[in-house]
Amino acid sequence: MPQKHFNLIKTYNAARAGELYTPHGTVPTPVFMPVGSQATVKTITPREIKDIGFNMVLANTYHLYLRPGIDVIEKMGGLHRFMAWDGAMLTDSGGYQVFSLAPLCKISDNGVTFRSHIDGSEHFLTPELAIHYQESLGADVIMVLDECTAYGDNQEKVRKAMDRTHRWAERCFKAQKRKDRVLYAIVQGGMFPELRKQSAEYLTALDFPGYAIGGLSVGEPKETTFAMVEATSALLPVEKPRYLMGVGSPEDIVESVARGIDIFDSALPTRVARNGALFTGKGRINIRKAAYRQMDDPLDPACDCSTCRTFSAAYLSHLFRSDELLGLRLATVHNLRFIANLMGKIRSSILDGTFSTFRDDFLSNYKTTDEKTRVEQKEKWLRGREKEG
């Protein structure tokens, strides 16, 4: 492990600004990681990711294990070289994908047997293998294997999964061989505060260099998400980074930073971009709507992304209405630049002591999707992922 992985520079109430130190560079926090599940952030190049303003990405061990194979990437010199990315990288363990994409899986204390969502072939994943695969990929930050639960699962089921997650975390800790990389534990416990407390206490006693909060943003109401984030974050070591897995809506990022989170990842900004949903300071808009067909101005005049500096909203609307692939690229560039700018503004406001004002101003101007529609969209997306299996 690097001599020092995280430095907390300043706090503003619970909000934090710091730095992550990795073998591939220093990463200012709070930080958002674009998701490159299959060694690519869909539609754009690694150079574009850097130019947009990101220096850390997430890759998916499950997908890379199935295709092209961990051995192939290792022979190519590791994942950084394979995908031509010279910045920091975090890989997940593959646990969430095993459970969400492969409904025909069998879980035991030894590990999980699952069928590939690609060809139906059977595979077996253990905590030790999850660490071995991630170390072979060469990521800067790697994750323990955990057992995920669904929103609505009863307390006993969540407790059993949590206990297994704890046992697996210890096995992952012992299995780690590359000490130049850091391993994060994942706090579970569903929507039960007492279980979240037990999980945080158990895992922090093992002294991991970083901690993630898993099992949230799986269809629960936002107030439940924020309550679990606030309660869990307060139980984690002040001097170590806190990673909220799978959260990427602009308003959720702002609210979660206010509750002490340092690291985020989500496919949401790029996924909704490919569906024509674009972020602006006033909220998310649908570029296919008639209002944009003859709009000669940029989509967002306040945005400095290459899309808004070069093209009109009318042109973007035309691309999406015509199913042109360029529209997907331009929308992705815009949404990611919006998130990069947001992270920069959040960090600056923490450092200069104005985060509360920034938070209030942002949330008062940013129109969010109503809760019922948001939950329905999330459930539809989760069902779609399950059908891929």
Residues labelled catalytic? 92, 265
**For 283-321, what is the HEC assignment?**
EEEECCCHHHCCCCCCCCCCCCCHHHHHCCHHHHHHHHH
CA distance 317 to 293: 6
CA distance 217 to 267: 12
- CB contact at 8 A, 154 and 95: no
- CB contact at 8 A, 289 and 56: no
| 3-state SS class at 367 | strand
Helices vs. strands in the chain: H and E counts, helices first: 16, 16
- Residue 140's contacts (CB-CB under 8 Å, 6 or more residues apart) are 22, 23, 24, 88, 89, 90, 181, 182
Mark 75-102 as b/e (b = at least 16 C-beta within 10 Å): eeebbbebbebebbbbbbbbbbbbbbbb
Closest CA to 183 of 196, 171, 200: 171
- CB contact at 8 A, 185 and 236: no
Give every strand in the sheet of 122-125, ordered side by side.
106-107, 112-115, 122-125
Q: Tell me the backbone φ, ψ of residue 18, rounded to 5 degrees.
A: -155, -160
